[in-house]
Structure 1
Amino acid sequence: MDGLILAAGFGSRLRDLFASKPLAEVNGVTLLEIAVRQLASAGAGKDGGRIVVVTGYQADAVEAAVADLRARMELEIITTRVDDWEKPNGHSVLAGAKLLRANYLLVMCDHILSSAILRGLAGAGHSQHGVTLAIDRQTVSPLIDPDDATWVQTRGACLIERIGKGLEAYDAVDCGAFLATPALAEAIVEAIDQGKPGSLSDGMQMLADRGAAATHDIGDAWWMDVDDPKAHRMAQDLLDERFSLLGNDAAWGHRLEAGVNA
C-alpha cells in the first residue's frame, strides 16, 4: 500500500506556536511523524509500498525531518516539492501522485486519525469509484471547527453529492483521509483546465458529479484536525503523557484507538 502526506502549506493559524505546521509537536511528537505512523499502521510504506511526503513551505526543514524518520523506521519514505506551495492543495496531490504506482491512502499532515479509519479506507475502495473519502456523520463536536471544516452532502448509501467549505446543506464532515486512485489526480487536472483553482475539493467534486466519489463512514472512530492553538491544546489534553511512539505499529494503533470522542 502506498501513502501520500500533504505537508506543503504555510499553517498560518499555528504560526504563533510553531514555525512549521508539519513540525508542530503534540506532546513531543511532530504532526509529520504522527501522519507517517498512522499510514504505517494501515500498511503503507511496507511490502513494496512507499510513503510520499509533499513539501513546500520550509521544505528543507521538513525534508530533514523525513530523512530522520526514514533512518529510524523500516519504511520507504520519500519527498517531493510542489512547485508553488501557495497554490491550493490539489497541486500538492498532483506533485505526489506522480511518484505513486497505483491506489494510495491520502492524508493531511495536520490530521490525527484513529488507525481504524485508515484500515477501513484501505479495504473500502471499489473499482468504479475514483476516490473514497472518510466521513464523520457527527457534524457537531468540540473537535470540529465549523468555520474551517470541509462539509459533505451525501447521496444514497455511499456517494458524495457535494463537497466544500461553506456548504449550506450537508450531512457529514470530511475527515481529511482518502483512498485515492489515479482518477483523482486526473480530475484535479481537469478542474484546473476548466479554470478552477485546483483544490483537492475541486477534483473531488468533478468525480462526485460523475458518481465516482464514494464515502466511508467512520462511525464512532476518533479524529481531529490540529489547525489552530485551540485545537492544539485539545490534542495535547486528549493525547496526554501516555501518548508515546516508543512501541511498534500495533501499539501505535492501539494508542490512537484509545482516543476518546469529546
Structure 2
Amino acid sequence: MDALIIAAGYGSRLADLSPSKPLTPVAGVPLIEIGVRQAMHAGVTRVVVVTGHKADLVEAFLADLSLRVGIEIVPVRLSDWSTPNGYSVMAGATRCEGNYLLMMADHMFEADILERLLGEDRADRGVTLAIDRRVDSPLVDPDDATWVKMDAEGRITAIGKHITSYDAVDCGAFLATPELAIAIRDAIAQGKSGSLSDGMQRLADAGRAGTMDIEDAWWMDVDDPRAHNLAEELAPWHLALTFATVREG
C-alpha cells in the first residue's frame, strides 16, 4: 500500500527552528524522515510526498532518504502551497494506487496506530480516521485541534476546528480511499475552501466516514515551539523503534 504524506505548508510557528517544517528535527531526526520510517514500519511499500514551501530543499532530502531507507519516495509539488490542505490530498492521490495511508508531515505516531489503521479497510467506508477520545490531553493544542463528533457506531457526523460539540480529536492519520479526493473536489465545487475537513464532512454526511479509536496509544502534532519541546522529550521514548533504525543507518 502507498502512503501519502502532506508536507507542503509553511509552518510559520516553527519558522524560528527550521526553514522548512517537514525538515524540522526532533531528537536530531527531521519530521518527514520520522513519518516515512513510521509508514514503512506499518507496512507501506511506497511513499508519495506533496511538497510546496521550500520544495527544493525537501525534495533533495527525500531523494537521499529514499536511498538510505530503501523505499520509493515520489515527490508531488504544488505550484501554490498556500492553498488549503485538501489541494495537497487531491494532488497526491493522483499518484497513489487504490487505498492509501494519509499522514500529515508534522504528526508522529506509535507504530501500532498506523498498523491497526491499515487493517481498517471496509466496503462501507470511504475513509477511516484515527481518533483520540482524550480531548483534555496536555499533548492536544485546543486552539489548533480538529475535533470530531460521532454517532453510536463510530461514524463521523461532524468534523472541524470550530465545532462546539465533539467526542474526540483528529489524530492526523487516515486510511483513505479514492472517494476522499473526489469528496474534496465536490466540496470545492459547492463553494467550500478545499480543506481536508471539507471533504471529510461530505463523506460524513453520506455515512461513509468511519473512525478508529487509538485508545491509550501515543501520538503528537508538532506544530509550535511548545509541542516541539515536548516532542524532543517524549518522542525517543515512544518511538524507540524509529530512532533505533535511524541509528543503525
Which of the five TM-score ranges fits, normalised by the shorter chain?
over 0.9
Counterpart secondary structure, 2:53: coil
Q: What is the match of residue 11 of structure 1?
A: 11
Number of aligned pairs?
246
Counterpart secondary structure, 2:4: strand
Q: What is the match of residue 260 of structure 1?
A: none
Q: What is the match of residue 50 of structure 2?
A: 54
- 2:182 maps to which of 182, 186, 192: 186
Distance 2:243 2:22 in 1: 20
CA contact (8 A) 1:27 1:243 kept: no
Distance 2:236 2:245 in 1: 19
Going from structure 1 to structure 2, the CA distance change for 1:245 and 1:181 (only over 3 Å counts) comes to closer
Q: What is the match of residue 131 of structure 2?
A: 135
Counterpart secondary structure, 2:223: coil
Which ranges in structure 2 are unaligned for 5 or more consecutive residues?
Answer: none
Distance 1:235 1:59 in 2: 24
Distance 1:93 1:83 in 2: 14
Q: What is the match of residue 119 of structure 1?
A: 115
Q: What is the match of residue 73 of structure 1?
A: 69
1:176 maps to a residue whose letter is G
Q: What is the match of residue 205 of structure 1?
A: 201
1:93-146 deviations in whole A, cap 9, x for unaligned? 011000011000000000011111101110012112100000001101110000
Q: CA deviation at 1:83?
A: 2.6
- 2:161 maps to which of 162, 165, 181: 165
Counterpart secondary structure, 1:239: helix
Going from structure 1 to structure 2, the CA distance change for 1:132 and 1:244 (only over 3 Å counts) comes to closer
Distance 2:74 2:187 in 1: 27
Distance 1:76 1:16 in 2: 31
Q: Does 1:63 align with 2:59?
A: yes
- 1:217 maps to which of 209, 213, 217: 213
1:90-101 to structure 2, matched below 5 A, reads: 90-101=86-97
More helix by share: 2
1:17-39 deviations in whole A, cap 9, x for unaligned? 11110000001000000010111
Going from structure 1 to structure 2, the CA distance change for 1:162 and 1:8 (only over 3 Å counts) comes to same
- 2:79 maps to which of 77, 83, 88: 83
Give RMSD over aligned pairs: 1.6
Distance 1:220 1:63 in 2: 35
Distance 1:85 1:145 in 2: 24
Q: What is the match of residue 257 of structure 1?
A: none
Q: CA deviation at 1:246?
A: 6.2
Q: CA deviation at 1:82?
A: 1.5
Q: CA deviation at 1:194?
A: 0.5
Deviating more after overlay: 75-84 vs 58-67: 75-84
1:167-222 deviations in whole A, cap 9, x for unaligned? 10001000000000000000000001001010000000000000000000101010
4+ residue stretches of structure 1 with deviation over 2 A?
Answer: 239-249
Q: How does the TM-score come out when normalised to structure 1?
A: 0.91
Q: CA deviation at 1:57?
A: 0.3
1:231-250 to structure 2, matched below 5 A, reads: 231-240=227-236, 245=242, 247-248=244-245
Q: Does 1:41 align with 2:41?
A: yes
Which ranges in structure 1 are unaligned for 5 or more consecutive residues?
Answer: 252-262
Counterpart secondary structure, 1:126: coil
